[in-house]
Every structure is written in C-alpha cells, then in structure tokens.
Amino acid sequence: MHGHDSPAVVVLRLGHRPGRDERMTTHVGLTARALGADRVLLPDNAGQSLETVADITDRFGGPFEVELTDSPYGVVRGWDGVVVHLTMYGERVQDVEADIRSAHFETGKPLLIVVGAEKVPFDVYEEADWNVGVTNQPHSEVASLAVFLDRLFEGRELECEWEDAEKRVFPTETGKRVESVSEE
Ligand code: SAM
C-alpha cells in the first residue's frame, strides 16, 4: 500500500470475456487501486479496461500500475511470494486472514491476489497458498476483492493519500465538491 513501507500487493484478474466482462474487469482494477493494492494485472484482451483504469489513475492519483499479461497462469506459477485465490469454495476469510497477514507483512513477501471471471482451472487452487472465501456464497470478484483488501489492511487503506492527482474530491454531507489540484 502506498504511503507505507509495506511489501507489494498485486491483483491478478483471470479470464475476460470481451463485451460481457468489460465493467467487471474495470471494476476489479478500480477497486484494487482505491483499496490499497499497488498493481493490477489484466488479461491481454482487456485493453479497454486497462485504458479506463489508467485514465482514472491519471485523474485521481496514484501510485498505481495497471498492466496486461499474455500469461496469467504463468504469473501464478512463477510468483515469488504469497498467492491468495479468492473463491467461494475456499477457507473462511475470518479464519485465515491473520496467517495471511503474517506471511505477507512479517516476511516482506509480495502478495498476489487472484480473482476469476468464469470457471477457474483447478491448477490455480493447487498453486495458491490460500484459497479464501468471503462467505461461501456465490457473489462477485469485485465484492470479494473489496472485503479481502479491507481485512488485509485492517482499514488502513481508507487513510491513503493520493499523489499526482489532477482532481481531488472533498467529502461533503450533501452535493459534490471536486477541485482541480494546482501544480506547485
Ligand atoms: N463458479 C465460478 C468458479 O467456479 O470459480 C465462480 C465465478 S464468480 C462469478 C467470479 C469470481 O468471483 C470467482 O472466480 C471468485 O474470484 C469471486 N468470488 C465469487 N464468490 C466469491 C466468494 N464467496 N468468496 C470469494 N471470492 C468469490
């Protein structure tokens, strides 16, 4: 998470059906950025989602990286660090979150968080250090990613400061207050 000396958190989106998954893949990227991940890797047919996430980062700040990969399974297999796969079939997040935090923050190893689109191949379940369910009910990659990141960072991500933003939103009780950030 930026602003802290913590090891990298990277989100990997497995699978993307052009057209149908456009918003979901974009929202995986936006959620990863907003809730403290450092980077999102998208499948190479998700160029449109990459553009949107990069554009939001330009306007609302970073640091955050968005990249395409032509080998998402290679990323999982070759990951030098901790791999968490979010799946409704996994262990309960509340039972494993502390062990995951230790494996990531105490060892300084980078964390890869894998979310799927359609059916995820069984190899990923085997490669993962933890298969984690945010409830064992079917819902969405965006929702599970949001809850998992908040559990991982224990709420600290809500205090993130954003650098090099063009726009800043000021929280208000009613209405919308957005200001351009002037260059100093
Ligand atoms: N039935 C699919 C399967 O076998 O993997 C699940 C597809 S689901 C629409 C898309 C993604 O949402 C999953 O790959 C998983 O990452 C995430 N997801 C859905 N429900 C979840 C849950 N309860 N806990 C964690 N992740 C979940």
Predicted TM-score (pTM) of the model is 0.96
Burial class (CB in 10 A: 0-12, 13-18, 19+), 109: middle
Closest C-alpha residue for ligand 1 atom 15: 87
Which atom belonging to ligand 1 lies closest to the Cα atom of 135? Answer: 23
In the chain, the number of structural domains is 1
Span 103-116, pLDDT tens digits: 999 999 999 999 99
For ligand 1, whether the C-beta of 143 sits within 6 Å is no
Once rounded to an integer, what is the mean pLDDT over residues 20-30? 97
Span 111-158, pLDDT tens digits: 999 999 989 999 999 999 999 999 999 999 999 999 999 999 999 999
* Structural domain harbouring 136: 9-183
Residue 113 in domain: yes
Span 37-56, pLDDT tens digits: 999 999 999 999 999 999 99
Residue 3 in domain: no
Most informative mutation of 40, 87, 147, 149 for ligand 1 (most atoms within 8 A of CB):
87
Shortest CA distance to 98 belongs to which of 178, 19, 154, 60?
154
Amino acid making up residue 173: E
> Is 118 annotated to bind ligand?
yes
Residue 1 in domain: no
Q: Which residues contact 54 (CB under 8 A, 6 or more apart)?
A: 66
> Is 119 annotated to bind ligand?
yes
Span 53-88, pLDDT tens digits: 999 999 999 999 999 999 999 999 999 999 999 999
Residue 4 in domain: no
Residue 54 in domain: yes
What is the CATH classification number for the domain harbouring 154?
Answer: 3.40.1280.10
User: In the chain, helix, strand, coil percent, each to 5?
Assistant: 40, 25, 40
For ligand 1, whether the C-beta of 137 sits within 6 Å is yes
Residue 106 in domain: yes
Residue 2 in domain: no
For ligand 1, whether the C-beta of 116 sits within 6 Å is yes
Mean confidence (pLDDT) of the chain: 96
pLDDT confidence tier of residue 184, bands split at 50, 70 and 90: low
Residue 160 in domain: yes
Cα 144 from Cα 169, distance rounded (Å): 26
SS3 assignment, position 31: helix
Which atom belonging to ligand 1 lies closest to the Cα atom of 15? Answer: 14
